[in-house]
Structure 1
Amino acid sequence: MIKRIVQDIAAHGGRAFYTGGYVRDRLLQGEAVSGKDIDIEVFSLSQKQLLSILANYGEGVVVGKSFPVIKLKHYPQWDFTLPEKATASYQEACARRDFTINAMMMDILNGKILDFFGGQADLQKRIIRHTTEEVFAADPLRAYRAVQLAARLDFGISPATLELIKQCPLHDIKPARILEELRKLLLLASRPSIGLRYMQEAGMLKRQHPMLFDLINCEQSPVNHPEGDVWEHTLQVVDVAAGLKQQSSNPEVLMFAALLHDIGKPAATRIREGKITAYGHDLKGAELARIFLGQLNAAGNLIADVYKLTKEHMHPVLLYKTRDKVSDKAIRKLVNRVNVRELLLLAEADFKGRGRERDFEPVREWLNQRMESLGLDPEQRIAPWVQGKDLIALGVQPGTNFRRLLDHAFEMQLEGKSREEILDWLSTRTQN
């Protein structure tokens, strides 16, 4: 279909090229690029002319004001654009792009590559390099794009580009745009630590994310954490979590929880009798994770789920260590507080992110067996056996005592009491 459209464009005096990341990925992966949006830049036509041509293939919609993009309603993965200046040369059009590996164009009809900034050579060198000195001034978000691309592609960042990032003002970037780049870094990279280390080196953590910056040089017990400070541990945890995220029903929550799970340690760390402790860092960290994501205008459900995982991230291992004393009620309460399947993935990443081989399987097997023996679904909260209608049937009128009775009934359920036992107890209470 695209070639038919492009041939139509050529028949009207225009010329169309694949551009941006699609060309980069074609050169890296060959023609089998899947699940990728396709950027197509059209030269020598006006927007009105292009819309007229595209109308033969579906309804065209113009989106964006500062940089208009034309989309076909039934092919949302295709983005048709025009140069900012109608008279722009091919080189000028490429110069406005961020990095050399993203600044190449491919003629859709003959496959010829136009490469004015050495993008193909930088692909060979596996390097992220800016096209012009003005790229970060034009859009400071490109600093985040550089580090997430480095992580996604396992590329290095050119020292000259890194210097520009260090000088780039970041304070005016909209929080939602930063969140999107962090999301790509965490979800699309097999080793997110590459990008996070570059954020540290470029001063982005210190300037924009002080809660993460505070993890650097925050000491931990060398017995439990031979890998080093909290920042080094966090980098290892996000990399382990990246390898587990395909098992997750919500990888975004898992990865942000991996990044933020120990964010409470700087505030909680103390040295007591020569021993480094961080008691309560899970509770403090949950609150700080909520603040961190709130400052980035994250969705409420993302914040809530990351909060829960951060708050509970220590429990699987702590329960396992005292497994001979753990009650059924404790297992039921855990299931009722958090998605234990997701929690186990985070706990595994935390357990293994220690700079040495560790086997998490005994922890997983024990907790799964305990939940299975109690008939619990690790991903579902426990449904109360006694509800308001049951109290009304016993003659209890809704009021201040109503909620207290329901809460106590649920506590009895968590202790293992049957529905009949709970109703009998309620009956005696209501009769009195």
Structure 2
Amino acid sequence: MKTKPADASTLMPLFRHLIAEGATPLLVGGCVRDQLLHRQVKDLDVVIFGLNHARLREALDPFGQVLFYGKSFPIYQIRGLAVEFSLPRINSGDKTAMLLEEAVAIDARGRDFTVNALYRHPLTQQLMDPLSGLADLQARRLRMTTPSCLQEDPLRVYRAYQLISRLGFTIEPETMKAMKSIATSHLPRERIMEELDKWLLAEDPLKGWEAMLATHRLPVPRAPASFEPLFPVTGWRHLIPAVLAAALPLRHAISDSRLLMWAALMAPMLAAECLPPAEAVKRREILVQWFQSLSRHHDRTNQLNRLFLALSHFSHLSHRQPDVVRLCRLTDSSLLEALLHALQPLWHSKHHQREMKAALRRFQKWRPEVLPKPCLSGSDLKELDYPADSTMGTWLAVAYEMQLEGVEKEAILQFFSCWKKSQNELQ
């Protein structure tokens, strides 16, 4: 669904209409926080006081198709607008009339962090701060709204990692202590993935990494009993900050910056130690399977797997131009090059810096701007009486490998003609 950029000023007719219907709309959460931090506001969250669900839906209906989702805390949207409307987080069984300030205070205590519990009236711009979130914002401090808020929604632990990475905040000590004790193993993995994506694409993911270390919650798969220990701490953990830092300035030049950051996070777990081939393959398989279970994204997992395959073969497939072309056929060459640059701290730790720099220069020199198209087609082989069955793809792959080695088309055809003739004579 395409949405228009969030802009409270263009929504004034809608806000005035809601007020005329008896509502008090207040901007809340990230949009207020980011505006106060002079950051770009991407979408708006509006909490509506004074209406029930039915009346809110009726009030929104004149402005477009009203969408509805969520069970615990229903959210309303108008198709095409990057705005979410919700009712306050107040117990529906509480029928006692209360002042707006009291209702705002109750709603604030149901939110995650105090810097996300700031409210602003869209017309008067009046700011409401029931939990001293403004002081935390000025101190660049992330503090939970209540002692139980993380227990109520454990995903907020992962949200804390990405928020401090995006905003450059620190986590208040009591909040950090509470984060250590929260169980998150039951959370849906796709929800965790959303927060980890935001963390890796944040301005400073190293802050989140440090908080993960402090709270003993690293984004690493658990080793199966048959393969213990899968990832020895001494082998890779100390390299992660340097590799992530090296990957940060490369993100803007890569079409899939998210995949680059995931690869930069995971590659040291694969390449930090000199493993026997079978063990290295097993480790890669487990990492890729873990990523699949976390992301639920087959294509992205396949891309990551192919990237890691290219990485594992890079040292011996970077000495000849045909082999460089083979690497580029295996994965996105720009992504592979960026990952190799990001992994320079790892090469340095293994005393392979000089060799990898030389290999990178060869790769950059021989990397084709456009992959060569196959000079032979299925119709060429059919003319030589090759059957159009399941073996055709294998023969075409052989022909392409010969082409990469510099064999001309006529010579390739001559080879296949002679082969077919010899097979016919044997029969």
Q: Shared fold by TM > 0.5?
A: yes
1:146-165 CA deviation, whole Å, 9 max, x = no partner? 11111111111111111111
Distance in 2, matches of 1:415 and 1:135, equals: 63
* Residue 385 of structure 1: how far off its partner (Å): 2.3
Are the structure 2 counterparts of residues 354 and 98 from structure 1 closer, same or farther at C-alpha, using a change threshold of 3 Å? farther
Distance in 2, matches of 1:144 and 1:305, equals: 25
Q: Quick check: 1:424 aligned with 2:414?
A: yes
Q: Match of 1:341? A: 334
Distance in 2, matches of 1:353 and 1:255, equals: 15
Distance in 2, matches of 1:210 and 1:236, equals: 23
Q: Match of 1:73? A: 79
Are the structure 2 counterparts of residues 402 and 52 from structure 1 closer, same or farther at C-alpha, using a change threshold of 3 Å? closer
Are the structure 2 counterparts of residues 405 and 216 from structure 1 closer, same or farther at C-alpha, using a change threshold of 3 Å? closer
Helix, strand or coil: the match of 1:384? coil
* Residue 183 of structure 1: how far off its partner (Å): 0.6
Distance in 2, matches of 1:110 and 1:285, equals: 58
Q: Match of 2:3? A: none
Contact 2:314 2:327 in 1 (8 A): no
Are the structure 2 counterparts of residues 346 and 284 from structure 1 closer, same or farther at C-alpha, using a change threshold of 3 Å? farther
Q: Quick check: 1:20 aligned with 2:32?
A: no
Are the structure 2 counterparts of residues 234 and 279 from structure 1 closer, same or farther at C-alpha, using a change threshold of 3 Å? farther
1:387 to 377, 387, 390: 377
* Residue 262 of structure 1: how far off its partner (Å): 2.3
1:276-298 CA deviation, whole Å, 9 max, x = no partner? x3454764443232122122143
Q: Match of 1:252? A: 258
* Residue 400 of structure 1: how far off its partner (Å): 6.5
1:306-343 CA deviation, whole Å, 9 max, x = no partner? 112223236556666xxxxx222212211221211110
* Residue 28 of structure 1: how far off its partner (Å): 0.3
Map 1:137-156 onto structure 2 (within 5 A). 137-156=151-170
Helix, strand or coil: the match of 2:269? coil
1:217 to 233, 250, 268: 233
Contact 1:285 1:310 in 2 (8 A): no
Q: Match of 2:218? A: 205
Distance in 2, matches of 1:412 and 1:21, equals: 57
Map 1:170-189 onto structure 2 (within 5 A). 170-187=184-201, 189=202
Unaligned runs of 5+ in 1: 220-229, 270-276, 321-325
Distance in 1, matches of 2:74 and 2:156, equals: 19
1:247-297 CA deviation, whole Å, 9 max, x = no partner? 11111211111111122358xx4xxxxxxx345476444323212212214
1:350 to 322, 333, 343: 343
* Residue 404 of structure 1: how far off its partner (Å): 4.2
* Residue 237 of structure 1: how far off its partner (Å): 1.0
- What count of residue pairs does the alignment treat as equivalent? 394
Contact 1:9 1:15 in 2 (8 A): yes
Distance in 2, matches of 1:110 and 1:346, equals: 49
Q: Match of 1:43? A: 49
Helix, strand or coil: the match of 2:84? strand
Contact 1:263 1:288 in 2 (8 A): no
Helix, strand or coil: the match of 2:268? coil
1:162-190 CA deviation, whole Å, 9 max, x = no partner? 11111111111011111111111011x12
Root mean square deviation of aligned Cα: 2.6
1:300 to 298, 301, 321: 298
Contact 1:95 1:132 in 2 (8 A): yes
Q: Match of 1:327? A: 320
Q: Match of 2:425? A: none
Q: Match of 2:7? A: none
Are the structure 2 counterparts of residues 345 and 159 from structure 1 closer, same or farther at C-alpha, using a change threshold of 3 Å? same
Q: Match of 1:222? A: none
Q: State the TM-score, normalizing by the size of structure 2.
A: 0.85
Map 1:245-284 onto structure 2 (within 5 A). 245-264=251-270, 269=273, 277-278=274-275, 280=277, 283-284=281-282
Q: Match of 2:12? A: 3
Q: Quick check: 1:368 aligned with 2:364?
A: yes
Contact 2:27 2:120 in 1 (8 A): yes
Q: Match of 2:248? A: 242
Helix, strand or coil: the match of 1:4? helix
Distance in 1, matches of 2:205 and 2:222, equals: 19
Are the structure 2 counterparts of residues 361 and 288 from structure 1 closer, same or farther at C-alpha, using a change threshold of 3 Å? same
Q: Quick check: 1:407 aligned with 2:397?
A: yes
Are the structure 2 counterparts of residues 163 and 414 from structure 1 closer, same or farther at C-alpha, using a change threshold of 3 Å? same
Contact 1:262 1:285 in 2 (8 A): no
Which residue identity lines up with residue 407 of structure 2 in the other structure?
K
Unaligned runs of 5+ in 2: 1-9, 224-228, 423-427
